[in-house]
Every structure is written in C-alpha cells, then in structure tokens.
Structure 1
C-alpha cells in the first residue's frame, strides 16, 4: 500500500473487540518505534505515551466513567472498554518549559509545537494500527479525567494528557465517507 491508501484505510472504528490479529509485543514495538520517529520541533522529544492493556484497559475506562460521576452514558464508555487497549497521548510540559527557557525568542511556540508533534504521533500510530489490521478511534475526555488517569498510571504531574485512542479488533467497518469538493479547502497558487 502507498501512503494515500493507508490514510484512506484509516478510519474512526467504534465497534472494537478484544481480539486483534497481531501480538501485543508487535503493537508495543510499533508504538515505540513510531514515537521515536515522530518529528518534534528543536528535537525536543516532548511526546509521552501510555498503552493500557488487559486489566489496565478495563480500569482506565471504569476510571473515566467514575470521573464523570455518571454524566456520560455507561454504554458509550463500555464500548471503549470493550477494545483491546487504549493509547494515551501526553506531552511533557517540563520538556516544553525547559526549551522555552533555553530559547526565549520562541517561547510562545513550544506548546504549539508540542501539540503539533502529538497530532503527528496520533495519526501515525492510528494509520499504522490500521495497517496491522487493528481499528481505532480518538477520544478527548480530558481535562475532566486528567488527575484520575495520572493517578491510575502513576505518570508525572508535568505530563499533559491530550487524547485517548481505544484500539482493537474490527467488529464493524466505518460507513463510507461522504465526498467533498476538496478545492474548497485546498488552494493552489502558481
């Protein structure tokens, strides 16, 4: 597959199951390698990832449900809990602040660049999981869940939670995307 085909195949898959077509070791190795390869301004290496599997996967989504005090439908949370695992995306605020101090001229940009790098990490992992035959979707229950997630996984206070990506076996493919006139969003100048 070429890159465009991989990106077309990457979709938000919500019907996820526990069984995946590859081993956890393969998934973990892929996530580690992708995290090492993702670009980050000034090579700051600000990205942090936690992968929840097994009992921690279930505990994560129970913790998220509890953090909302029942204000999010249990069925919705259980659909994410039913997945094989979840990738939690963070960036390290201490790393960002260190570079802000080191390069004050660019200080305002480092948080933006950390977010951009996190987005690149997310799309690369998401696309790569799909290439492995695994479905995923992206969730944003932060900041409500931030403290509970940090406590559950014992992550440092300086980690900023950006997104949660449940992943698992594909139980049902996503519906076809609606077409669009891409020229409304892409302008070419010569």
Structure 2
C-alpha cells in the first residue's frame, strides 16, 4: 500500500496508533493532509478528541480503512468530524498474503474487487448458495511465496458486472468465521 501511495507522489505520515491524538490532528492540519489510511480503532481516539474540542479535519477527502471492519455507525460518527464530502473506502488484506481486494464507489459493505495482478483467489468447500472458504496465492512474493493460503474468510463470487465499469472480479465476504478449524490468518475488511 505504501509503495503504491509513493508512486502517486503522496506524502506519507507514519502516524499509526498514537497515544496523543492532538499530535495527529496537528500533523494532519500542518501538512494539509487530504487522505487517511487508517484502522478504524486508531481513528476513534482522534475523532473523540475532535469532538471534545469542537474541531474538524476539513481537508480530508478520502478515508481508506484497513485492518478491521468499518461499521456504518462508526463511519457516520467519523464523518461528523471530517469534511462533509469525505469518501470512505476499504481494502481487504491479510498479514500473510497482503492486499486481496479494494472497494470502488459501487461496492456495498463487504464487497471487494479482487487485485488479480497481485493475487489468485479461489473459493473452496462451496455450499449451495455459492459461499466458500477464500484461499489466495500472492503472485508478487518471490522470496517468501504464499501459495493457496486460507484467509479464514467465507466469501461468495459476485457474477454481475460492477456498475463502476471495473472488470476485475468481485467477491462479497460473509459474516462469521470460516467453517474449517484449519483456517489460518486474519483478514481485514
């Protein structure tokens, strides 16, 4: 993710989890940041501090979450402290295999376009409604290859074309853990 951001000329501030939300707010304001790449739980304390002080981060136009789900109630709360037109998107990844998918404006909750140039994805143990265990192979890791890694997620392939026009295959993640106790890895949505 950071390599892709660097290619766009993006200035990356490695804030991560901060015990000092005021410092994060100061850096975002000082550098006039317009994109956040953040785990929702790390953004929470910053939003709490903005709420306490009555301030907003009005320069933020895009918030890309990863590492954990962004619930609609949290998005609604976060939105009140950011620019009114802030767009929220998410990436889907695991620590073992890297980024698996991304969201466009037409993706609903838990829906992702697959990064075919980075991953081969397959569903195994598919049930009657088309939901199966998601397994990925990372095509970019040459020194430490990841081959047919179980992500621990259940997913269903979405067959209809995406309204955005992107032709990359899409999946919808199912709620709940995979059915097999042999699943490994943790995903982020």
TM-score bin, normalised by smaller chain: under 0.3
By percentage of residues, which structure has more helix? Answer: 1
> If the length of structure 1 is used for normalisation, what is the TM-score?
0.22
More strand by share: 2
Q: Larger relative CO (CA 8 A, sep 6+): 1 or 2?
A: 1
